[in-house]
Amino acid sequence: MAEARTNTPLSRETGEGPGERAASQTRPSPGPAGHPAPRPTAGIALPAGCAGVEQSSTNSLLAPQTGEGKNIIVVGAGPLGLCAGLRLAAQGHSVQLLDARRADQAHEDRRVLALSHGSRQLLETLGAWPAQTATPITTIHVSQRGALGRTEMRHADYGLPALGYVLPASALMQALLARARDVGLDIRYDARVEALSASATQVSLNTRSEAGAGDVLHATLAVCCEGRIDEPPARQNSVAPPPKRAGRKVLGRPGDFSAASSDVHARDYDQHALLLRVTPAQPHANTAWERFTPDGPIALLPQGGDFGVVWTMSPERLATLKALPDDALLAELQRAFGLRVHFSKLHSRASYPLGMKMRKSPVGDRTVWLGNAAQTLHPVAGQGFNLGLRDAWELADTLRAATDPGAADVLARYARQRRADRQGAAGFTDSLVRLFSNNNPLLTHARGAGLLALDICPPLRHFVTKRMIFGARAWP
Closest C-alpha to 392, from 35, 104, 97: 97
- The predicted pLDDT at position 44 comes to 25
| CA–CA distance, 269 with 12 (Å, rounded to integer) | 19
pLDDT band of residue 352 (cuts 50, 70, 90) is: confident
Burial readout 270-297 (b: 16 or more C-beta within 10 A, e: otherwise): ebbbbbbbbebeeebebbbbbbbbebbb
Question: In degrees rounded to 5, what are phi and psi of residue 50?
Answer: -105, 115
* pTM given for the model: 0.76
pLDDT per residue as tens digits for the range 244-277: 444 455 454 444 434 444 588 877 778 888 999 9
Which amino acid is residue 298, in one-letter code? I
pLDDT band of residue 39 (cuts 50, 70, 90) is: very low
- Mean pLDDT rounded to a whole number for the chain: 76
pLDDT band of residue 242 (cuts 50, 70, 90) is: very low
Per DSSP, the residues of 434-465 read: HHHSS--HHHHHHHHHHHHHHHH-HHHHHHHH
CA atoms within 13 A on the CB side of 410: 20
- The predicted pLDDT at position 465 comes to 66
Q: Is-contact 343 281, C-beta < 8 A?
A: yes
CA atoms within 13 A on the CB side of 407: 10
Residue percentage of the chain with pLDDT more than 90 = 48
- Determine which of 14-23, 226-235, 427-436 has the lowest per-residue pLDDT on average: 14-23
Q: To the nearest 5 percent, what fractions of the chain are helix, strand and coil? A: 35, 25, 40
pLDDT band of residue 12 (cuts 50, 70, 90) is: very low
| CA–CA distance, 464 with 453 (Å, rounded to integer) | 12
- The predicted pLDDT at position 324 comes to 96
pLDDT per residue as tens digits for the range 280-316: 999 999 999 988 877 778 999 999 999 999 998 989 9
Closest C-alpha to 289, from 354, 380, 378: 380
pLDDT band of residue 227 (cuts 50, 70, 90) is: confident
pLDDT band of residue 375 (cuts 50, 70, 90) is: confident
Closest C-alpha to 366, from 188, 263, 218: 218
Greatest CA separation found in the chain?
Answer: 67
- The predicted pLDDT at position 6 comes to 35
